[in-house]
Homo-oligomer: A and B are copies of this chain.
Amino acid sequence: MTTPRFHGVIPPVVTPRTADGALDLHSFGTLIEYLIAGGVHGLFVLGSSGEVAFLTDAERRTVIEEAVRVTAGRVPIVVGLNEMTPARMIDQLQLVEAAGADAIVATAPFYARPSAAEIEAHFRLLAAATTLPVFAYDVPVRVYNKLSVEMLVRLGSEGVIAGVKDSSGDDVAFRRLVLANRAAGSPLVLFTGHEVVADGALLWGADGIVPGLGNVDPRRYVEMYNASQNAEWDRARDLQEDLCALFEIVFQAQGVSGEAAGLGAFKTALVRLGVIATNRMSPPVPPLDNDTTDLINAIVDRAGLLVR
């Protein structure tokens, strides 16, 4: 069995902003170096964690181009493609391809209310419009449809999609997907997006992880992945538990949106670690306040991550 090109730890890179709200390309570059130094196997830009929904087309282009420039081929660049319907997604595709992406991660339609057949047609239309590998992004909490195991394996077997990023939170379906994919000859590369149960996903047969928390502690995710490749499950579990302790940063903010609490916590921790300059979010999402920042800093400090 050969290792697929896309595998291992591919964090969904956050998009730093300056104090006045502009893209902070300096911080973005520093973050990419931090992640590569941590040993990650790829970078996923313009994911939900990258605030893709909040970026203009111009900002999206800048983010990809800068990621490609800074990375300079050291690891592959996977790009989130995030639009309501095929026509709009294919429009974005030109931007993404021109900027130098190595693969795309595409959602099902949203705002639209597609049937299962329409979701499948959507992925077929998209794949027909690009030569890049297409990963299906399964994120029902945002698009309000779950991608079916049967459709995913069928699209994989026909070469329409190259893999799946599973952020469905439905581990029963993920387990079925792993086994159905294997029975079909493993056409799909399978990633889990759930950063606190990745040891389990790896035990079950996931090819990799797309952990938002990997922005903060890339090295430990890489070590966990390596442990899993050696079937050192107790060690993988122990590393995951350390990461779970760190993940508590996302539960510190109260009464705010998930974006504010979760992505805000990643940015706040990265400020504490000296990697990026501010915890500023994209409007209308507010940055976390000082009290929450203190709580997050304490958790980060306990985790022993002050690497600079």
A interface residues with partner B (beta carbon < 8 Å): 53-57, 59, 82, 84-88, 91, 107, 109-115, 117-119, 121-122, 125, 141-144, 169-172, 175-176, 179, 194, 196-197, 199-201, 203-204, 231, 233-234, 237, 241, 244-245, 255-260, 282-286
Distance between A138 CB and nearest chain B CB, rounded to angstroms:
14
Distance between A118 CB and nearest chain B CB, rounded to angstroms:
4
CA A162 to CA B114, docked complex, whole Å = 32
Shortest Cβ distance from A55 into B: residue: B87
CB contact between A283 and one of B87, B179, B244 (< 8 Å): that residue: B87
When the two chains form their complex, are residues B141 and A84 in contact, meaning their CB atoms are under 8 A apart? no
Which residues of chain B are within 8 angstroms of A55 by Cβ–Cβ distance? 87-88
30 cross-chain CB contacts under 8 A:
A53-B85, A53-B112, A54-B84, A54-B85, A54-B87, A54-B112, A55-B87, A56-B87, A56-B88, A85-B284, A86-B284, A87-B282, A107-B111, A112-B257, A112-B259, A114-B257, A114-B285, A115-B255, A115-B257, A115-B260, A119-B284, A122-B283, A125-B283, A144-B144, A169-B172, A171-B200, A179-B244, A197-B204, A200-B201, A200-B204
When the two chains form their complex, are residues A85 and B282 in contact, meaning their CB atoms are under 8 A apart? yes
CA A245 to CA B200, docked complex, whole Å = 18
User: Number of copies of this chain in the oligomer?
Assistant: 4
Distance between A175 CB and nearest chain B CB, rounded to angstroms:
5
CB contact between A57 and one of B91, B110, B203 (< 8 Å): that residue: B91
When the two chains form their complex, are residues B111 and A142 in contact, meaning their CB atoms are under 8 A apart? yes
CB contact between A118 and one of B57, B85, B201, B257 (< 8 Å): that residue: B257
CA A204 to CA B117, docked complex, whole Å = 37
Which residues of chain B are within 8 angstroms of A107 by Cβ–Cβ distance? 111
CA A88 to CA B46, docked complex, whole Å = 14
Which residues of chain B are within 8 angstroms of A283 by Cβ–Cβ distance? 85-87, 121-122, 125
When the two chains form their complex, are residues A176 and B196 in contact, meaning their CB atoms are under 8 A apart? yes
When the two chains form their complex, are residues A237 and B203 in contact, meaning their CB atoms are under 8 A apart? yes
Known contacts A53-B85, A87-B56, A199-B203; A285 and B179 CB within 8 A of each other: no
Distance between A287 CB and nearest chain B CB, rounded to angstroms:
12
CA A201 to CA B134, docked complex, whole Å = 31
When the two chains form their complex, are residues B197 and A172 in contact, meaning their CB atoms are under 8 A apart? yes
Distance between A141 CB and nearest chain B CB, rounded to angstroms:
7
Which residues of chain B are within 8 angstroms of A53 by Cβ–Cβ distance? 84-85, 88, 109, 111-112
Which residues of chain B are within 8 angstroms of A59 by Cβ–Cβ distance? 87
When the two chains form their complex, are residues A114 and B197 in contact, meaning their CB atoms are under 8 A apart? no
